[in-house]
Structure 1
Amino acid sequence: MNHNSAQGSDSAMQTRAVTAATIGTALEWTDFALYGALAATVLPKLFFPAMDPTSSLLASLATFGVGLAARPLGAVICGSLGDKFGRRNLMLATVSVMGLSSFLMGLLPTYAQIGVWAPILLVLLRIVQGFALGGESTGGQLMAIEHASPDRRGKYSGLLGICSPVSQIVANAVLFGLSASMSAQAFEAWGWRVPFLLSFLLVIVGVYIRLKVHETPAFVEMQRSGNVAKVSNPLRDAVRFHYKPLIRWMLFFCGPAALFYLIVVFSLSYITKTLNVPKQDGFMLLMGANVFAIGGALLGGMLSDRIGRKKALAIGSIATLLISLVYFSVLDTRSFVPMLLIMGLFLGFTQYQSGIQPVAFAEAFPTNVRYSGSALAYTGANLLTGGPMPMVAVWLLSISNGSPWAVVALCASLNLISLIAILWGPETRGIDMNRADSSSRLAGSAGQAPLSSPGAIDSGTRLGNSR
């Protein structure tokens, strides 16, 4: 009876953990997605009016990239603190900071009101927003993955993967509703502020649901074993002893990160400005594509539980490589249904890989550096290719006289690098993430690697459950 009660309690906590992680992260991503959509449409005119149209668009997209550039700093600081003091408290802090910065963004005066201080303050708030999201993204993933049973980690990972497309749907639905219900002048004057001003709800909901979740079993086991006291510098240990999985997974995620921002940020600008498709249609196309993305994330996560992380990721990477070659040719038809299908398939298979990313990253690192290592790989890829991708795509389009083939070549190259990284390294499905010997047990002699060195993970302490 007690055994059944304990199983029921564990199951309830697993459900609560993945719910808290999914809802909280989706709320934070919604604010980030709102800014991405507005950076491609409204903000250039409001905050960079003195520039020509191409320059103002580049400047606006640069502020989007600044937010992504701040994410590694948030990942490094929050990751180190999370590895030393636990995942739960960090999650409460990041959701509060993210909500406050977004709320203040909704109150921000424009260039016409305070001049050059408007873009300066915009950049500062974007840095704070990116910092919070850098700590949030990996922390939310670990809260769910470390609570999950081994045979459900992929499923929970897929649920986390829906956060981004759900946020895109919500953000674009809000923007579509506002732009459709008011004049263009009213939307530019005050309508764009409404979603940001509602961000106080993010703080209330995010804090409430995360107060209901316990610390993760993996971190509790590390505390019980006494190893948490020996964790002095998780960031240093991650780079020094686990650089192979760190580099591998960073290179892998450079592909999905770049493709994601190409679709949800640059494509909206390309559709509305280059192809002269109405903004409302652009928002509808992105909302439809993100429906595909939700299905893709869930499929990727669940399939990785059955066939392994490497095989499942390779399927998605090959699919995005093939789609990238025809993506812009289909968009150039200006026909709504073909545009919806190609955007849906492209974003769907991109998010299919992102649905596997949380569990693949978590299984690649031991408990004592799991937050730091995962966060560095995730945010490092976004810094290298995710944030710059919209700006680089705009620049390539301008120097190619409107031809998208340079952008296609870049996408294919990044995708090939991603595929190679997937095929390089061990399969990690089934590794026991809660074992004491997966956490940090620093050796007695100075300079000697801890027992959780790369070889320990690569050899794989695997569970014997059949699938």
Structure 2
Amino acid sequence: MMAGTRSREVILACLIGTSLEWYDFFLYGTAAALVFGRLFFPEADPLTGTLLAFATYGVGFLARPIGGVLFGHFGDRVGRRNVLAVTLLVMGLATFLIGLLPTYATIGVAAPVLLVFLRFVQGLSLGGQWSGAVLLSVEHGHPARRGLYASWPQVGVPAGNLLAAGTLGLVNVVLPDDAFLTWGWRLPFLLSSLLALAGLWIQANIAESPLFTQVSTRSRLPLAEVVRTHPRALVATFCARIGVDVAFYVFTLYVLTYLVDKVGVSRDTGLNAVFIASAAQILLIPFFGALSDRIGRRRVYLAGVIGASVWAFAFFPLLDGGTFPVIMLAVGVALVAHAAMYGPQAAFIAELFSTRLRYSGSSLGYQPAGVAGGALAPIIAIVLLDRFSTTTAISLYLLASLAITALGLAIAPKPVAWTAELAPRRQ
């Protein structure tokens, strides 16, 4: 396909690739909550085993800033499309290998070591993937619709979470517990070979970003230049993401552990609630992205921050009710608030950086926040509840994180003037 690639086709390709990428990443997190503690850390008590499983989950977040720097450099040097294709191939391979990995009972301590290594590779890939998908979409799109166009790769997050929860949930329902723990959990990981095909298709069929191709001079060291020229934008990006990540991983991942271990409901109940709420987010995220084109990124973003802050104190009391309709209400409203933040987020961040430095700038500001936010959120939630014996401690943690996000919105500079506004109009 030539340079005249229509924006709809670019967005669809990025959405499919991002959904499969996040499917792989969330699949690990869901498995960590449900089975990895018993399979890879069987000698630990249940609480310690869960903490260790989530710690390996966090390794992926530690690798994301490294992947962001590495792939960001090449994204600003050689282009968005090829870098995005490479990240999809790497993620697909790493996840496929996790599906083949022997457990502790077979190879001993080598099992968790290999698990951590493959999780690190997953994190490297995801660290570069987000910016590539967002920038391909928004730089192909009409300037007046950046919020909507940039929101479609964001839809890959709930879509991937939906696929991960749904696939594991289906396997869990179809197979008895012994079969699920022995080999059934591997099947969703082996399906990640589809991600490699998505990467190859994008590389062969999608045109490079028209804005990137019009950049007259490309930075030799984009990382160093973006730190020197956009320091305020980097800090604002970091802060704006913190609360969004903490809220998401508490509302969708920690909730699975809480419902099983503290409320005493079946794991199917939590998976089904997350499944349904994630399905709703597929529509809500582009809705809020489009709304930000009409009334402004910060207004929509801040409305989500306020909504999530209030709901943080209703979330756990509702879960404690133990009935599925009430649990569904708790998770559903929480993810509506998250969608209001996540919908405008990609365009908000992209518009803070000039085209020649946008891949490095968005990655460098965005990915380290994943370590401070999403990587630690489930672990901090477990420790807070164990230490204080009340979910109010977790709610206050959510409130503090969202306050940092509000600060990021307040200190963000005005959007920069992009070097070219010749993106093709919607056809």
CA distance in 2: counterparts of 1:207 and 1:324, whole angstroms: 41
Using the size of structure 1 for normalisation, the TM-score is 0.88
Q: Alignment partner for residue 419 of structure 1, among 395, 406, 414?
A: 406
Structure 1 residue matching 2:51: 3-state secondary structure: helix
Residue correspondence of structure 1 range 165-176 to structure 2 within 5 A: 165-176=158-169
1:156 corresponds in structure 2 to 149
Which deviates more, 168-177 or 103-112? 168-177
Cα deviation for residue 291 of structure 1 reads 2.2
Runs (5+) with no aligned partner, structure 2: none
Cα deviation for residue 199 of structure 1 reads 1.3
Residue correspondence of structure 1 range 327-342 to structure 2 within 5 A: 327-342=315-330
| Residues 93-152 of structure 1 deviation map (CA, whole Å, 9 limit, x = unaligned) | 111111000010000000000000000000000000110111111111111011111112
Q: How many residues align?
A: 422
8 Å CA contact 1:26, 1:163 repeated in 2: yes
Which amino acid in structure 2 is aligned with residue 323 of structure 1?
A: W
Matched, 1:368 2:378: no
CA distance in 2: counterparts of 1:210 and 1:173, whole angstroms: 29
Matched, 1:111 2:108: no
Which amino acid in structure 2 is aligned with residue 416 of structure 1?
A: A
Cα deviation for residue 426 of structure 1 reads 4.1
| Residues 354-392 of structure 1 deviation map (CA, whole Å, 9 limit, x = unaligned) | 121111111100012100110111111101111011011
Structure 1 residue matching 2:236: 3-state secondary structure: helix
8 Å CA contact 1:47, 1:110 repeated in 2: yes
8 Å CA contact 2:352, 2:413 repeated in 1: no
Cα deviation for residue 351 of structure 1 reads 2.6
8 Å CA contact 1:289, 1:347 repeated in 2: yes
2:313 corresponds in structure 1 to 325
Q: Alignment partner for residue 205 of structure 1, among 193, 198, 203?
A: 198
Matched, 1:237 2:225: yes
8 Å CA contact 2:354, 2:417 repeated in 1: no
1:292 corresponds in structure 2 to 280
RMSD: 1.7
Cα deviation for residue 434 of structure 1 reads 4.0
Which deviates more, 15-24 or 350-359? 350-359
8 Å CA contact 2:21, 2:92 repeated in 1: yes
Structure 2 residue matching 1:333: 3-state secondary structure: coil
2:378 corresponds in structure 1 to 390
Which deviates more, 316-325 or 47-56? 316-325
1:189 corresponds in structure 2 to 182
CA distance in 1: counterparts of 2:331 and 2:349, whole angstroms: 27
1:71 corresponds in structure 2 to 64
8 Å CA contact 1:74, 1:132 repeated in 2: yes
Structure 1 residue matching 2:214: 3-state secondary structure: helix
8 Å CA contact 1:161, 1:356 repeated in 2: no
Which amino acid in structure 2 is aligned with residue 165 of structure 1?
A: P
Residue correspondence of structure 1 range 274-313 to structure 2 within 5 A: 274-313=262-301
1:32 corresponds in structure 2 to 25
8 Å CA contact 2:254, 2:378 repeated in 1: yes
Runs (5+) with no aligned partner, structure 1: 1-5, 439-462
Which amino acid in structure 2 is aligned with residue 135 of structure 1?
A: G
Q: Percent identity?
A: 36
CA distance in 1: counterparts of 2:227 and 2:246, whole angstroms: 24
Q: Considering only CA atoms, is the larger Rg found in Structure 1 or Structure 2?
A: 1
Cα deviation for residue 32 of structure 1 reads 0.8
Cα deviation for residue 78 of structure 1 reads 0.2
Structure 1 residue matching 2:185: 3-state secondary structure: helix
8 Å CA contact 2:352, 2:414 repeated in 1: no
8 Å CA contact 1:249, 1:377 repeated in 2: yes
Q: Alignment partner for residue 435 of structure 1, among 401, 416, 420?
A: 420
1:450 corresponds in structure 2 to none
8 Å CA contact 1:66, 1:127 repeated in 2: yes
CA distance in 2: counterparts of 1:273 and 1:294, whole angstroms: 29
1:359 corresponds in structure 2 to 347
Structure 2 residue matching 1:330: 3-state secondary structure: helix
Using the size of structure 2 for normalisation, the TM-score is 0.96
Which amino acid in structure 1 is aligned with residue 202 of structure 2?
A: I
* Larger relative contact order, structure 1 or 2 (CA cutoff 8 Å, min sep 6): 2
Cα deviation for residue 233 of structure 1 reads 0.7
Matched, 1:270 2:263: no
CA distance in 2: counterparts of 1:211 and 1:351, whole angstroms: 32
